[in-house]
Structure 1
């Protein structure tokens, strides 16, 4: 299982688009879980890690 935590105001829209794009790259046994950073689980999961990408601006 893969976990992607995202800080975005419109997670629902992004979720459906990510699902479309990543589906072809995942094996049938791989699962991509996506959650918003502003949830308790998102905050707890990321508290010890730095983001691998930050939007400029």
Structure 2
């Protein structure tokens, strides 16, 4: 993945979405919250990456 390539990041996220969801549901015990967490982090992650 090239730095700053939003399509590549989206593809990586999509490939790992089920793993992230299962982890989120184990952490929260709540299906609704588990749906929201990965989406929220997906939106925040590119901005955090650029600040490093």
Query: Under a length normalisation based on structure 1, what TM-score does the superposition of the two structures give?
Result: 0.37
Which structure is higher in strand share? 1
State the structure with bigger RCO (CA 8 A, min sep 6), 1 or 2.
Answer: 1
Which structure is higher in helix share? 2
Query: Under a length normalisation based on structure 2, what TM-score does the superposition of the two structures give?
Result: 0.38
